[in-house]
Structure 1
Amino acid sequence: MIGSTVINQRQHVGLQKLLVLAATARSLLGANEKYKFIQDEASGESTLVGSCLRILDNLEHTCAVGQLVYESVEAHHKVYRTGSGCLLFLAGAWSRAALECLRSGISPRHIAAAMTEGMDVCIDVCKNSSISFEALCESPQKRITKVPEALCESPQKRITKVPTDSGHMTATGLKASKVKLSRHFCWTESESVSVPQPHLPDIAQLADGLRHGCDDAMDLVLQASCMQLKYGLKDTHCVFDVNKVMTCVLPGFSEDHAHVSQGCVVLLDADQSAVAHSLQDTPLNVALIHGDLSCTYRHLGFNQPTGVQHVNDQSRLPSLSKKEEWMQKILVLLLRLEVDLLLVSGLVGEEVIQCCCKHRMLTVGKVKASIIKEMANATGAVPVAYATQLSKHCVGTGVKVGIWREIQSDRRTCVYIYPSCRTQLVTAVITSFLHSKLQVLEDRFWACAYRLHYALKDKAVLPGAGESEMICVHHLQRQVNVAHPRDGQTNSFRGVVLHLMAEGFVDYISTVMANSAGISQLQAKTAVNQQLQDFKGDHNVSAKLSRLVLDLDERSPQFSAVRSVRPRKVYDNLSVKVEAWRTALDLVLLVLQADAEIITGVEESSRGAQAELNFL
């Protein structure tokens, strides 16, 4: 069983551990994601999680496989913010496939070769079945992107009233581009090809197909996109720039208070709240710091000299500590430059914040690097790595601070920082009465934001609701019976591996459907296999498979609930999905190779080691 924690020491232990870890993703797939509580047995504290990454974040990784899985999922999440559940689930499914192959006597070398071939087949499927933006447009002449007015108006009417006219954007004037299928599905500009720019689809229609059950989060993303269009520069052609979006989590309010506001919205403690009130609605001077604001911070690549001894003059009175000297130096510099606001991309020490508060200066840490860049463009400030590098020409102007809401329980204040000029910088304010739920809601917002971001970046999407995976299953099963140039024994191994790899996709599809519709895994898998049987020998596979989830026939009555919970059109991200598949397979093959080397102790090609190797 996939959820079993019993490890058979006679099998490949690494693959079994990967299988067990991947079981955590089973209940988190599909539109109806389930929350989980993780409890620390030592302290008794519990954490609410809603994604695979957050589960792995809160687990102790005591083995190399666990650490490898966590780092792979974390690296994928940092770039894409979505698709981690698919990655982890398929890593487990294909680990099970690899174990089945080993039990059948297939060598790791043949498993790796066949699985790599199977992945190439799946990449071709994605390339051929992707839906371009031209296909998403209702007509070739439709070039205008429009967001419903109801989503454009921010609930934050008491401070800044958002104009009620909806934003418009045309695709004219953009450079021609074409897709280049590579390791990371890079889209590169082509100088030799002169073709019209793909038309922009209806942004609301596109977002609707990328919701994946997160309606409230995607509505916030649409608000952010609309606000960027309204407040952006006139010559901008960007429909949605995720790099100019930030979030602010605000406990103590219902989820209905979530909204999008122009500029940066931050939550300040009691001491900084008093400073914010004194600076409210007055033009401020701003300084921007890349990195931590501390005396010990050194940027990447900086190496302190070794073997240097510091000799103090004992005849002098005891001097201030190094930290105090640094703080005094920085404070004098900031006061001389008349800095009112410091935005820092890294960490800011509590003592630095308190010292700045005493002199009516606001300090905000953990600001995204892209936000620092946008503030620099809007204010004329020049970001520096160290505060000691600040000079008069580095300080920007034209920034204001406004009070949005005060939290009476802990005397904190939520303020928004906005430049006077037009900017696409916006903040999504995430609210909830439950403090433990804030991280889940924030993760969902970023997942929706990056789905829309990569859809616009790829200029194409994949058919969702399991359709892309079903087409992959069909093509993998066809490859099982295709003649291979190698000898018959290798060809039989190849067929077994590809079949088991396809079964991993079937398991994924049925799990997504079961979780989304509230039906059993057996019902879902039975219907999926039945549909696959109906498509054997059919050349019009895409047209048939497109009705798998959205319009199932009467022979699959157990899926009546699926039709009621699924939107008519569901899309997946092209680059995100392919990279999740690749990373999952990389994980499996790396663990497979490590296990084989541990078991044999020598190169696999050694005949002596092969004779003593016993695969169950």
Structure 2
Amino acid sequence: MSGSVAERRHIGLQHLEAISASTHTFLGPNKLLKWIRDEDPVLVSTCPRLLQRLELDCSAGQLLHETVQAQQKLFHSGTGALVFLTGAWSRVAQECLNRGISVLDIKTAMRKALEVSLQVCQQSAVSVREVSRRRLKPELRDTEVQCMDVEHPHDLRRTLKHSRHFGSHENAANDTSSIAEAVSHGCESSMRLVLKACKLQSTQDLDIQKLVTCCIPGPSEERSCALHGYVTLLSVQQASVVQSLQGQRLNIALVSGDLRETYRHVGFNRPANITRIADRASSASVEERWIETALRIVHALGVGVVLAHGAVDDKLKDRCSSVLFIEGVKSGVLKDFSARTGAVPVSYITQLDERCVGRGVTLSRCEGHESAWIVSANSSLVTAVITSSVPAKLQILEDEFWSCAHRLHQALKDGKLLRGSGVTEILCIHKLRQYQSENPLEKLVLELMADAWMDYVSTLMLNSGSVASKAEAWTAIARQRRRCEDGEPVLGDFGVYDNMTVKTEAWRRALDLVLLVLQSDTEIITGGREGEDLYNELMCL
């Protein structure tokens, strides 16, 4: 089978390239929103939200969606680069096939190109200490700071603690804010809200597990704020319950699963060959007795608030006017209330007894909208209340907030950052062009990978408005490469930085996906004869 025929039949790679093209406007800080019109019209500005709405009926598209979701779940950022590179590197693989290069040689050379690029990241990484010093006010920038290699954020805080000029909490907070500004990526208002939450937590490490969001339509975006405790939207009936309970010190119960009669914990197996008498009764009567039992227990224990990780039975909420039931509560929130109130989470409401009940929470309604504000003493739990008069923007603002929060958290965790605005990728281009290889096929693939980076950087520059066309972008990149050859630093926006771990993981996931689809397409075409031994070398997505 000729290379050109094989290339045309690698449908999976073509699907990846086509899907990727639909997300190019999401690359960079100036994202163009897409309006998805279906049964529930919505504005989207990120790859995960777009892929959720697309009808991805091809296997390659489903794999891309799963890969993006995995990146999003872990880092809440980097998905734009992941999807773009998936398309660009799919195009590289197709070009290699078209030139008659074997799948094994393509795989080996593309992995070599990634290895070279990752080495660039290691060599060009900048410590967060250096980033913060570059961004501090002039009067602080030249002050004496103890020299220390910062490999971990704890080292950064020790440097600040022992410095003559950075010993105070205020100056340490300024240091955190400078790092936050460096990784805000154009989302300044969302990052300011993140910094407010960080300040309320009274720590230089942003604790993601003790941070939640509550989106409230109606008020303007300027009304967004960060509050101690847990804030959640209420129904009209729940609002009346809060009205009757606010201002009191309440007992609290925590449920780790669904609060429903039909709920069974993970791993539960009903004993075989046993029929309970209750099973013979109608499901309605079983549910009714369960509701009566649940209400009797919470009333007997004086519980005023019940937080459930899962769903809460609607009839149970309707029947109780003196207890606030909140569903869908994050496990981190349950842990915090458990630690602060002494409450012990239970799987079933029937397990609740005096020893499991927590004490000392207060409840109030937030002014101007139907929401509950639950607070316990000494809690580091913080809720970012996100508001907008345009309901369609709430999801976008919430996504921006979490992206900013995770970028700041990851920067402090890594202790190092990469130059942004495409600077790191230009260094990768230079290194790949410069790489000496005795294998002409490998050299060709590395050149094609460098072209893919060129496409990435030029699209980034075009989207950010720094150039008027792709041709102008390529000229600017060539100019930067000449600076590298002359031993001069690559120019760029020194105020923009990227998370090292987020970026490199996005690159790895993108290439793993391309090689997996390349291998799958090849086996369909050849019947599995070419490259049968590659499975054990492909990473799990």
TM value normalised by structure 2: 0.87
Among 88, 92, 101, which residue is 1:97 paired with?
Answer: 92
Compared CA separation, residues 79 and 198, structure 1 to 2 (3 A):
farther
1:219 aligned partner = 192
Q: Which runs of 5+ in 2 are unaligned?
A: 161-171, 533-541
Whether 1:589 aligns to 2:519 is no
Whether 1:255 aligns to 2:221 is yes
Deviations 1:451-493 (A, max 9, x none): 00100111111111111111111112222xx134xxxxxx111
Among 304, 324, 339, which residue is 2:288 paired with?
Answer: 324
Kindly indicate whether the alpha-carbon contact (under 8 Å) linking 2:47 and 2:80 is maintained by their aligned counterparts in 1. Answer: yes
CA distance in 2, matches of 1:304, 1:198: 58
CA distance in 2, matches of 1:383, 1:587: 40
1:415 aligned partner = 372
CA distance in 2, matches of 1:384, 1:342: 11
Letter in 2 for 1:483: S
In the TM superposition, residue 137 of structure 1 has moved relative to its aligned partner by: 4.6
Equivalence map 1:438-453=2 (5 Å): 438-453=394-409
CA distance in 2, matches of 1:268, 1:16: 47
Whether 1:527 aligns to 2:475 is yes
Among 333, 341, 353, which residue is 1:371 paired with?
Answer: 333
In the TM superposition, residue 511 of structure 1 has moved relative to its aligned partner by: 1.1
Compared CA separation, residues 398 and 110, structure 1 to 2 (3 A):
same
The answer to which of 381-390 and 263-272 deviates more is 381-390
Letter in 2 for 1:590: L
CA distance in 2, matches of 1:313, 1:596: 54
CA distance in 1, matches of 2:184, 2:25: 18
Compared CA separation, residues 137 and 215, structure 1 to 2 (3 A):
closer
Compared CA separation, residues 309 and 188, structure 1 to 2 (3 A):
farther
CA distance in 2, matches of 1:27, 1:385: 45
CA distance in 2, matches of 1:427, 1:128: 38
CA distance in 2, matches of 1:517, 1:313: 67
1:353 aligned partner = 317
Deviations 1:263-286 (A, max 9, x none): 111111110111100101110100
Compared CA separation, residues 478 and 402, structure 1 to 2 (3 A):
same
CA distance in 1, matches of 2:111, 2:266: 37
Kindly indicate whether the alpha-carbon contact (under 8 Å) linking 2:430 and 2:481 is maintained by their aligned counterparts in 1. Answer: no
State the aligned residue count: 508
CA distance in 1, matches of 2:13, 2:283: 59
In the TM superposition, residue 106 of structure 1 has moved relative to its aligned partner by: 0.8
1:500 aligned partner = 448
Among 423, 430, 454, which residue is 1:467 paired with?
Answer: 423
- SS of structure 2 residue aligned to 1:398: strand
CA distance in 1, matches of 2:433, 2:335: 50
Deviations 1:96-130 (A, max 9, x none): 11111111111111111111111111222212211
In the TM superposition, residue 400 of structure 1 has moved relative to its aligned partner by: 0.4
Deviations 1:372-405 (A, max 9, x none): 1111111111112222222211111110011212
Kindly indicate whether the alpha-carbon contact (under 8 Å) linking 1:284 and 1:400 is maintained by their aligned counterparts in 2. Answer: yes
Whether 1:108 aligns to 2:108 is no
CA distance in 2, matches of 1:307, 1:506: 67
Aligned sequence identity (%): 40
Among 493, 509, 527, which residue is 1:601 paired with?
Answer: 527
Compared CA separation, residues 463 and 10, structure 1 to 2 (3 A):
closer
Letter in 2 for 1:364: I
Kindly indicate whether the alpha-carbon contact (under 8 Å) linking 1:37 and 1:46 is maintained by their aligned counterparts in 2. Answer: yes
CA distance in 2, matches of 1:302, 1:528: 62
CA distance in 2, matches of 1:575, 1:436: 32
Kindly indicate whether the alpha-carbon contact (under 8 Å) linking 1:24 and 1:52 is maintained by their aligned counterparts in 2. Answer: no
1:131 aligned partner = 126
Kindly indicate whether the alpha-carbon contact (under 8 Å) linking 1:198 and 1:459 is maintained by their aligned counterparts in 2. Answer: no
CA distance in 1, matches of 2:105, 2:283: 70
CA distance in 2, matches of 1:306, 1:585: 48
- SS of structure 1 residue aligned to 2:303: coil
Letter in 2 for 1:503: D
In the TM superposition, residue 583 of structure 1 has moved relative to its aligned partner by: 0.7
Letter in 1 for 2:356: C
Deviations 1:192-244 (A, max 9, x none): xx999565781111111111111110110111111111xxxxxxx64321211
1:120 aligned partner = 115
- SS of structure 2 residue aligned to 1:340: strand
Kindly indicate whether the alpha-carbon contact (under 8 Å) linking 2:426 and 2:481 is maintained by their aligned counterparts in 1. Answer: no
Q: Which runs of 5+ in 1 are unaligned?
A: 1-6, 146-170, 180-186, 230-236, 408-412, 485-490, 551-567, 607-616
Kindly indicate whether the alpha-carbon contact (under 8 Å) linking 1:474 and 1:532 is maintained by their aligned counterparts in 2. Answer: no
1:303 aligned partner = 269
CA distance in 1, matches of 2:279, 2:41: 54
CA distance in 1, matches of 2:505, 2:268: 34
1:56 aligned partner = 51
1:426 aligned partner = 382
Letter in 2 for 1:428: A
Among 437, 446, 450, which residue is 1:483 paired with?
Answer: 437
Kindly indicate whether the alpha-carbon contact (under 8 Å) linking 2:522 and 2:528 is maintained by their aligned counterparts in 1. Answer: no
Letter in 1 for 2:185: H
Note the aligned Cα RMSD (angstroms).
2.9
TM value normalised by structure 1: 0.77
Deviations 1:401-428 (A, max 9, x none): 1121244xxxxx1221111x22211111
Equivalence map 1:172-191=2 (5 Å): none
